[in-house]
């Protein structure tokens, strides 16, 4: 039996099925990462969310929840579960539109 590294997936055996084809989403994600565009988009998103007050709003919701439940009774998972739906729902449409426009421009420029 072959041992597998913890840091990478096991190498398929010669008899294994042919590796599955990457999806379009996976190909786009790889291109975004390789070009550095994903990091630029993430930085832009952070900036826009700070500018519009979204980050402060989410922070206030978390603080209120912690105050209500008690500091020692709240886990990070509790906060993630609380904030994720509200956070996604309250991202301003203008921020979503700007990011979408940037992604489309990247896709067009890279013929994906």
Question: Can you give the pLDDT at residue 10?
Answer: 61
Higher pLDDT, 6 or 9: 9
- In angstroms, the CA 1 to CA 53 distance is 55
> In this structure, is residue 20 part of a structural domain?
no
Is a pLDDT exceeding 80 seen at residue 1?
no
Q: Residue 100 has what DSSP assignment?
A: H
Higher pLDDT, 21 or 1: 21
> In this structure, is residue 11 part of a structural domain?
no
- Supply φ then ψ for residue 91, to 5 degrees: -65, 125
CATH at 76: 1.10.246.140
> In this structure, is residue 30 part of a structural domain?
no
> In this structure, is residue 70 part of a structural domain?
yes
> What is the extent of the structural domain holding 67?
36-109
> Is the pTM value of this prediction over 0.75?
no
Domains held by the chain: number: 1
- In angstroms, the CA 91 to CA 7 distance is 35
Tokens, residue 78: 């509790």
- Supply φ then ψ for residue 13, to 5 degrees: -70, 160
> In this structure, is residue 3 part of a structural domain?
no
Type and span of the H or E element at 17: none
Max Cα–Cα distance, the chain, nearest Å: 57
């Amino acid at each position: 039996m072959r041992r597998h590294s913890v840091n990478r997936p096991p190498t398929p055996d010669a008899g294994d099925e042919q590796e599955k084809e990457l999806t379009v989403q996976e190909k786009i994600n790889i291109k975004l990462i390789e070009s550095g565009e994903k990091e630029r988009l993430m930085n832009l998103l952070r900036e826009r969310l700070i500018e519009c007050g979204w980050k402060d709003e989410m922070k206030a919701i978390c603080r209120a929840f912690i105050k209500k439940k008690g500091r020692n009774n709240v886990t990070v998972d509790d906060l993630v579960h609380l904030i994720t739906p509200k956070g996604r729902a309250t991202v301003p449409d203008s921020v979503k539109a700007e990011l979408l426009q940037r992604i489309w421009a990247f896709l067009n420029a890279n013929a994906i």
